[in-house]
Amino acid sequence: MTTASEPLLQIRDLNIEFFNGDTCETAVEHAFLDLYPGETLALVGESGSGKSVTAQSILQLLPRAHSRCSGSIQFAGENLLDIDTGTLRRIRGDRISMIFQEPMTSLNPLHSVQKQIGEVLALHRGLSGSAAEQRIIELLQLVGIQDASKRLNAFPHELSGGQRQRVMIAMALANEPEILIADEPTTALDVTVQRQILALLHELQQKLGMSILLISHDLNLVRHNAHRVAVMQQGKIVETDTTDNIFSSPKHPYTRMLINAEPSGFPVAPSDSSETLLQGENLRIWFPIKRGVLQRTVDHVKAVNDISFSLQQGETLGIVGESGSGKSTLGLALLRLQSSKGAIYFHDQPLHQLSQKALRPFRREMQIVFQDPFGSLSPRMTIADIIGEGLEVHGMQDEQQREQLIIKALEEVGLEPETRHRYPHEFSGGQRQRIAIARVMVLKPKLVILDEPTSALDRTVQSQIIDLLRNLQAHHNLSYIFISHDLAVVRAMSHRIMVMRNGTVVEEGSREQIFENPRHEYTQALLEAAF
């Protein structure tokens, strides 16, 4: 790191405002940032803190009609906020490049890998034909794509998430930029892939000597990958320091809160007289792959393959796995929301034999909370309607009584009862997740399946939700099946843990066994990547 030299990029008193009609919202206020050559500067903050907006303003990618920037962004002796679009275009993708969060949508689905990367080269270097091809293969090899020359004609859908992100990086690096802006480059990826991508970025930085502006909400990742850290809160940069200093002696209370937000604590010990609540035997969910004119089944995608388990009253079973491991599908199958083979017993009652209609009375006792707090609440219903609907369906017609229970449920999840007349869009992500939990709790269930209930939330909100879930469990002697890819959260919640990969369970054991003494190498890799 060369802190002594001149900064490459200087952001001075940057203000960004968004306006829509008459309303005006300040997204960034008085931001000061310096990026030195060869360093990685991390910009951290919770969602809505303005970190992505700051990054996008550097390349002037914000919608001009709806935003206003003031202040200055000095790069190579010029203020990026003042220069004309032609000069700006020469800088974009050549001297300053950007990697976006979503590898699934940031590549054009209709262009092959060669065309995507070739476009950047043609624009700034005027390379074409075999010279370009040579360079593209070189770049693909640089970002660690195997058989690069065979991959040239691959389309984005033929690549995995990690490979797509590598292609994005190859595009960004095509012209050896001085600055790489990486906006949450690994958030959409699995932990093991995350690690590879970050290692790759680090290696490329060494090789090419560029500066990286890393935007992330994940402090764990920042700690291992950044030289300096700037913390943003509600549009203001509250603290900037070296990574070591930030983590060892944070000065601003907000930074301290962020660092301490790592989920911690232990799950509540279940009561001793536990009986088995839910049992699954040889559960199997196979999706047929059909081919040919007659649509014959040629093979199956084995989403869940021969899984057996049992769950005690008052216990939490954590199911861990990366995307595509079949953990969510398993959760849906347990509630018979997804057809499956095999046996499911709830209180020794064989659920797998019941019709959907005969199953309805059981639904009250087994509930599910979904991942996306924005998608799981109907936008057209008030909070009271949302929470009360389950009661209504299960035969409680008396409105007064229902209202009482709704108020109680809202209080239980820590929301004001007055909020029941409002609509979901008026609430933040964490509050919405509380509403989703209230909707479930009002039915007094015995089993709740939590399908990534905290993944869409900021760390600080996550720990609040985890505390809430643990309290509810202790109060009502609930059983949870906790599905997550986030090992830190699973550790804070589960008594027993199942590690899933490609539809099968690779390891199962108590919390202590899995975290302190993992036996399977996949579990070990997951743990290593996460902590």
Partner 1 sequence: MAGLITLNPLNQRRWESFCHNRRAFWSLWIFLFLFLLTLIAEVVANDKPLLVKYDNQFYFPFLYNYPETTFGGDFELETDYRQEYARELIEPHGWMFWPPIRYSYDTINYKRVAPAPPSGENWLGTDDQGRDVLARVIYGFRISVLFGLTLTLFSSLIGVTAGAFQGYYGGKIDLFGQRFIDIWSGLPVLYLLIILSSFVEPGFWWLLGIMMLFSWMALVDVVRAEFLRGRNLEYVRAARALGMNNSRVMFRHILPNAMVATLTFMPFILTGAITTLTSLDFLGFGLPAGSPSLGELIAQGKANLHAPWLGITAFVTLSVMLTLLVFIGEGARDAMDPRK
Where along the sequence are the contacts to partner 1 (CB under 8 A)? 332, 335, 337, 357, 359-364, 367-368, 370-372, 375-380, 382, 389-390, 393-394, 423, 425, 436, 439, 443
Q: If DSSP codes are grouped into helix, strand and coil, which group holds residue 47?
A: coil
**Residue with smaller CB distance to partner 1, 325 or 367:** 367
| Three-state SS at 451 | strand
Tell me whether residue 30 or residue 394 sits nearer to partner 1 (CB atom).
394
Question: What is the DSSP pairing of strand 67-75 with strand 9-20?
Answer: antiparallel
CB of 321 to partner 1, least distance (A): 20
Which residue pairs from 508-512 have beta carbons closer than 8 angstroms and sit at least 24 positions apart in sequence? 508/309, 511/267, 511/318
Which residues 6+ apart lie within 8 Å of 332 measured at CB?
Answer: 338, 368, 451
Q: What is the DSSP string of 190-215?
A: -HHHHHHHHHHHHHHHHHH--EEEEE
* Min CB(377)–partner 1 separation in Å: 6
Q: Which is nearer to partner 1, 439 or 496 (CB)?
A: 439
Q: Number of helices (H) and strands (E), helices first, in the chain?
A: 18, 20
Smallest gap from residue 443 Cβ to partner 1 (A): 7
Cβ proximity of 194 and 214 under 8 Å: no
Q: Which is nearer to partner 1, 71 or 390 (CB)?
A: 390
Phi and psi (nearest 5°) for 427?
-115, 155
- Buried residues in 366-388 as b, exposed as e (16+ CB within 10 A): bbbbbbbbeebbeeeeebbebbb
Compute the least distance from the CB of residue 450 to partner 1, in Å: 12
448 touches 393 (CB < 8 A): no
Three-state DSSP at 74 gives strand
Task: Please say which residue, 230 or 440, places its beta carbon nearer to partner 1.
Answer: 440
Rounded to the nearest angstrom, the gap between the alpha carbon of residue 501 and the centroid of all alpha carbons in its chain is: 19
- Nearest distance from C-beta of residue 331 to partner 1, angstroms: 10
Q: How far is the CB of 337 from partner 1 (least distance, A)?
A: 6
Q: Measuring CA to CA, which residue among 81, 224, 146, 168 is closest to residue 528?
A: 224
Which C-beta is closer to partner 1: that of 155 or that of 374? 374
Please, what is the Cα angle at 161 between 485 and 218, to 5 degrees? Answer: 45
Q: CB of 78: closest distance to partner 1 in angstroms? A: 36
Nearer to partner 1, 273 or 355 (CB): 355
Least Å from the CB of residue 500 to partner 1: 21
* Residue 255 or 367 having the CB closest to partner 1: 367
* CA–CA dist 230, 45 (Å, integer): 9
CB of 80 to partner 1, least distance (A): 30
Got the DSSP string for 258-313?
HHHTS--S-PPPPPSS--EEEEEEEEEEEEEEEETTTTEEEEEEEEEEEEEEEEET
Residue number with CB closer to partner 1 (338 or 477): 338
Q: Which is nearer to partner 1, 104 or 269 (CB)?
A: 104
Q: What is the DSSP string of 235-258?
A: TEEEEEEEHHHHHHS--SHHHHHH
Task: Give me the least distance between CB of 326 and partner 1, in Å please.
Answer: 17
Toward partner 1, which CB reaches closer, 164 or 363? 363
Pairwise CA distance, residues 362 & 445, whole Å: 9
CB of 110 to partner 1, least distance (A): 23
The answer to whether 221 and 191 are in contact (CB under 8 A) is no
CB nearer partner 1, residue 202 or residue 364? 364
Phi and psi at 312, nearest 5°, equal: -85, 160
- At 69 the three-state DSSP class reads strand
- Ramachandran angles phi, psi of 51, nearest 5°: -75, -40
Neighbours of 78 (CB within 10 A): 14
CB of 43 to partner 1, least distance (A): 30
Q: C-beta of 36: minimal distance to partner 1 in Å?
A: 42
Cβ nearer to partner 1, comparing 16 with 330: 330
In whole angstroms, what is the distance from residue 30 CA to residue 18 CA? 15
